[in-house]
């Protein structure tokens, strides 16, 4: 138990010699962002996820099967936009991935611009959002989350995917049963997404939904600022692993 608690603590407050440097806590912040953004998109934008694509594939099937709770074009648009963002993220990783700090700083900066654009759209349009407004925000947010996912995949920090928790939870249970693995880190990942989604839902349910994306932008700026400080670093963690 003590080892798991230490693992969780080191995820949030890594030691000076951590092989991934400051990346673990930064990815925890991005996981919270995922919770915020998905809470907004699901509750405000046609029951659509912009970060977790598994849900959209299932929602698309439900819609085509006759369910009126889900909108087929919204799920399809989210998947398509996510693919665009992931392709862009892959290209950025290919060109700038040699230095992890610079790579994440650039990717998070672009994601911040995209989420801010959605925030401006949301603040300037009347609610409930009409289809064109919802489509615009779904597209912009899903591109941003596709970019984030591709970046996190390239950074390859074990146990911190920032969005996909099915494998994280499965790995958590399997490793727990075997008495091994980064159990504490995985617990932090699950809790972070939960907290982001919970806070996002609370903001919406209490009439502060317009502030939700602004909070996500603020968190992304924290990531950009943290990584900007590492741009000149030559520490081992900044180097891309093969």
User: How do residues 37-46 score in pLDDT, each as one tens digit?
Assistant: 999 999 999 9
The pLDDT of residue 1: 59
**Residue 114 and residue 103: Cα distance in Å, rounded?**
17
Q: How far is CA 240 from the centre of its chain?
A: 21
Among the ranges given (72-76, 145-149, 188-192), the one the predictor scored with the smallest mean pLDDT: 188-192
Half-sphere exposure of 39 (CA within 13 A, CB side): 27
> What confidence category does residue 242 fall into, taking pLDDT thresholds of 50, 70 and 90?
low
**Regarding the domain delimited by 23-231, which CATH topology (the fold level of the hierarchy) does it fall under?**
Growth Hormone; Chain: A; (1.20.1250)
* In the predicted structure, residue 165 carries a pLDDT above the cut 90: no
φ and ψ of 42, to 5 deg: -70, -45
pTM for the whole structure:
0.93
Neighbouring-strand partners of residue 239 = 99
> What confidence category does residue 6 fall into, taking pLDDT thresholds of 50, 70 and 90?
confident
pLDDT in tens, 80-116: 999 999 999 999 999 999 999 999 999 999 999 999 9
**Residue 186 and residue 194: Cα distance in Å, rounded?**
12
The pLDDT of residue 152: 96
* In the predicted structure, residue 168 carries a pLDDT above the cut 70: no
Structure tokens at 13: 């407050």
Contact 45, 127 (CB under 8 A): no
Structure tokens at 180: 């091994």
Neighbouring-strand partners of residue 99 = 239
Contact 14, 231 (CB under 8 A): no
């Amino acid at each position: 138990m003590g080892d798991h608690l230490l693992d969780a603590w080191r995820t949030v407050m890594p030691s000076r010699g951590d092989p991934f440097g400051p990346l673990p806590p930064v990815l925890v912040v991005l996981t919270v962002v995922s919770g915020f953004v998905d809470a907004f998109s699901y509750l405000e934008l046609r029951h659509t996820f912009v970060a977790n694509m598994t849900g959209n594939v299932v929602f698309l099937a439900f819609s085509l099967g006759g369910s009126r709770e889900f909108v087929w074009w919204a799920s399809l648009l989210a998947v398509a936009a996510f693919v665009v963002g992931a392709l862009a993220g892959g290209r950025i990783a290919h060109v700038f991935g040699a230095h992890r700090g610079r790579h994440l700083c650039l990717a998070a900066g672009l994601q911040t611009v995209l989420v801010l654009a959605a925030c401006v759209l949301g603040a300037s349009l009347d609610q409930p959002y009409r289809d064109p407004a919802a489509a615009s925000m779904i597209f912009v947010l899903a591109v941003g989350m596709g970019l984030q996912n591709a970046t996190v995949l390239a950074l390859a920090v074990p146990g911190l995917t920032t969005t996909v928790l099915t494998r994280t939870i499965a790995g958590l249970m399997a490793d727990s049963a075997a008495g091994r693995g980064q159990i504490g880190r995985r617990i932090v990942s699950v809790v972070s997404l939960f907290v982001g989604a919970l806070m996002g839902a609370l903001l919406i349910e209490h009439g502060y939904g317009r502030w939700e994306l602004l909070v996500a932008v603020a968190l992304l700026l924290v990531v950009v600022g943290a990584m900007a400080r590492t741009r000149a670093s030559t520490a081992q963690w900044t180097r891309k692993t093969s």
